[in-house]
Amino acid sequence: MMMYKINVDRLPELYAKMAESRALYLPIEKNDQVEFHPWNADACVRLDKLNTAKSAKDLFFPQTENLMKFKMQGKNISIEENRDPVEPFVLFGVRACDVRSFDVLDKVFLADPVDTFYQSRRENGVVISMACHEPEETCFCHAFGIDAADPAGDISCWMVEGTLYWKPLTEKGQALTETVSALMEQAGDQDQAKVEESQKALHAVMEKLPLYDLDLTGFDGDHLLEKFNSEKWAKLSEACLGCGSCTFVCPTCQCYDIRDYDNGHGVQRYRCWDSCMYSDFTMMAHGTPRKTQLEKFRQRFMHKLVYFPSNNDGMYSCVGCGRCLTKCPISMNIVKVIKALGGENHA
């Protein structure tokens, strides 16, 4: 498909055009924090920010979502479906790692039985990705075979010397492109070369990153018990506070809880993100099956690095975005786990 380009100064026009027909979500700074927020003319767009604080999964798998409602009238109860309406939307400026996270989530929510809440959001959303240019030491997407310079999605974008290059990859992307192509110019071979050059430069930077060569040796279905029974979990999990910051900033964590909210005249049933680090995760009448923080901690990483790949053709449930590395209150993270149990420490 054809590549387009547009000068960075004209981006607001592009945003405005896209926002005419649907909601447009971009990395926007609000209260000193950059997140995917709906765009408006006054928004402070931060395409330069490497990563949003929360991942982009919020748009497809929101932190809370209404499922149904039970209405009480006297002694009668009636059930009402009241899922939040989903309108078409555009998600602009997603990094390669976050784009990959949608694949991970798809494996979970689109497999049988299909999660129709997630599905309708996926169908209504167009993902416009954005290549990285200044990755940080916490980035390790390369370990999972992700190319930060060549992000997937419905449309890929590159920012090179004040020009945004725009390349539709899917039909959905092409359809959106047609609604805005009037604002853009078609890119030529020279432009193609510029993009390729920027990709090369990025690859050179990537190679210098300390976690570029993060070795995942040993994390596969074949070593499940060995990893599970490793004595190292005790030390690794020792300082874990049992908070959910890693889980909630993670683009691939997909656990949720279903809860009822009794508002006095009825009950709203909704689902919300849950964290396997929480003391009340999978709480049942008798208690929780994983009583200690060690077990909870181990579950999270075993799931991401062992169980998930062994059930999903080797696809890890981690995309190397590095958010948990910066957000963990005690700086314990998946990289430390991988290093402790994998690579040269494997076996």
Partner 1 sequence: MTELIKAKVSELLANQTADRVLGWKKGEFFYDETPAVFQAEELDDLVYDGFSAPNLSKYLIKESKKEGKVIALLKPCDTYSFNQLIMEHRINRDNVYVVGVPCRGNLDINKIREKGIKGIQSIKEQGDELIIETIYGTKTLPREEVILDRCLCCKGSQHMVADEVIESGEPAWEAKADRFEMVTKLENMTSDERFAFWRGELSKCIRCNACRNVCPACSCLQCVFDDPASKVQAKSNADDFEENMFHIIRAFHVAGRCTDCGECSRVCPQGIPLHLLNRKFIKDIDTFYGEYQAGADIEAKGPLTEFNKDDVEPSIVKERGGK
Partner 2 sequence: MQKIGVFICHCGTNIAATVDVEAVTEAIKNEPGVVYAANYQYMCSENGQALIKNAIAEYGLTGVVVCSCSPRMHEATFRKAAQEAGLNPYMVEIANIREHCSWIHKDKVEATEKAIILARAAIAKVHLNAPLISGQSDVTKRALVIGGGIAGIQTALDIAEAGFEVDIVEKSPTIGGKMAQLDKTFPTLDCAACILTPKMVDAKSNDKITLYTYSEVESVKGFVGNFEVSIRKKARYVNTDLCTGCGECTTKCPSRKAKSEFNMGLMNRGAIYIPFAQAIPNVATIDPQYCIHMKTGKCGLCEKVCSAHAIDFKQQDEIVEQKYGAIVMATGFNLINLDQFDEFGYSKYPDVVTSLEFERLMNAAGPTEGTLLRPSNHEHPHTLVFVQCVGSRDTSGCGKPYCSKICCMYTAKHAMLVRDKYPDTEVYVFYIDVRTPGKNFDEFYRRAVEQYGVHYIKGMVGKVTDKDGKLIVQGSDLLENKQLKIEADMVVLAAAVEPDPSARSVASMLTASIDTNDFMTEAHAKLRPVESPTAGIFLSGMAQGPKDIPETVSQASACAAKVIGLLAKDHLVNNPCVAQSNELRCNGCSNCEKVCPYGAISYIEKEVNDHGVREVRRIAQVNEAVCQGCGACTVTCPSGAMDLKGFSTNQIMAEVDAICR
Partner 3 sequence: MSLNEETKKEYKPLIVAFCCNWCSYAGADLAGSSRLTYPTDVKIIRVPCSCRVNPLFVLRAFQRGADGVIIAGCHPGDCHYTSGNYFARRRMTLLFSMLDYLGIERERTRVEWISAAEGVKFSTTMNEFAKTIHELGENKKLRDLRCEE
Q: What sign has the CA pseudo-torsion 281, 57, 151, 135?
A: negative
H/E stretch holding 185: strand 185-186
Query: Interface with partner 3 by CB under 8 A: which range of 105-113, 178-186, 259-267, 280-288?
Result: 259-267
User: Residue 268, interface with partner 3 (CB under 8 A)?
Assistant: yes
User: Residue 228, interface with partner 3 (CB under 8 A)?
Assistant: no
Q: Minimum distance between the CB of residue 11 and partner 2, rounded to whole angstroms? A: 48
User: Residue 263, interface with partner 3 (CB under 8 A)?
Assistant: yes
147/164 Cα distance (integer angstroms): 19
Structure tokens given for 163: 């020009």
Task: Confirm if 277 and 243 have CB atoms less than 8 A apart.
Answer: yes
In what side-by-side order are the strands of the sheet with 76-81? 76-81, 64-73, 266-273, 256-262
Structure tokens given for 81: 């479906």
In degrees and rounded to multiples of 5, residue 178 shows phi and psi of -65, -30
Return the residue of 7, 210, 232, 261 that touches partner 3, per CB under 8 A.
261
Using the minimum distance from each CB to partner 3, give the nearer residue, 268 or 293: 268
Using the minimum distance from each CB to partner 2, give the nearer residue, 221 or 287: 287
The conformational region for residue 162 under phi > 0 = left, psi -120 to 50 = alpha, else beta, is left
Q: Minimum distance between the CB of residue 295 and partner 2, rounded to whole angstroms? A: 12
Within residues 154-173, the interface with partner 1 by CB under 8 A covers: none
Return the residue of 208, 264, 344, 347 that touches partner 3, per CB under 8 A.
264
In degrees and rounded to multiples of 5, residue 160 shows phi and psi of -130, 120
Using the minimum distance from each CB to partner 2, give the nearer residue, 232 or 291: 291
336 contact choice in partner 1, partner 2, partner 3, none (CB below 5 to 8 Å, kind-dependent): partner 1
Q: What sign has the CA pseudo-torsion 48, 51, 52, 53?
A: negative
Task: Confirm if 146 and 173 have CB atoms less than 8 A apart.
Answer: no
User: Residue 255, interface with partner 1 (CB under 8 A)?
Assistant: no
Q: Minimum distance between the CB of residue 331 and partner 1, rounded to whole angstroms? A: 4
Q: Which residues bind partner 2 (CB under 8 A)?
A: 72, 74-75, 264-265, 286-288, 291
Whether omega for the bond prior to residue 210 falls within 30 degrees of 0, making it cis, is no
Q: Minimum distance between the CB of residue 270 and partner 3, rounded to whole angstroms? A: 9
Using the minimum distance from each CB to partner 2, give the nearer residue, 85 or 264: 264
- Annotate each residue in 121-140 with x if it binds partner 1 (CB under 8 A) or - if it does not, as one string: -------------xxxxx--
Buried b (16+ CB within 10 A) or exposed e, 267-287: bbebbebbbbbbeebeeeeee
50 contact choice in partner 2, partner 1, partner 3, none (CB below 5 to 8 Å, kind-dependent): partner 1
159/132 Cα distance (integer angstroms): 9
Enumerate binding residues for partner 3 (CB under 8 A): 261, 263-265, 268
Enumerate binding residues for partner 1 (CB under 8 A): 30-33, 35, 50, 53-54, 63-64, 134-138, 205, 208-211, 235, 238-239, 241-245, 247-249, 257, 259, 261, 270, 272-275, 278-280, 283, 325-333, 335-336, 339
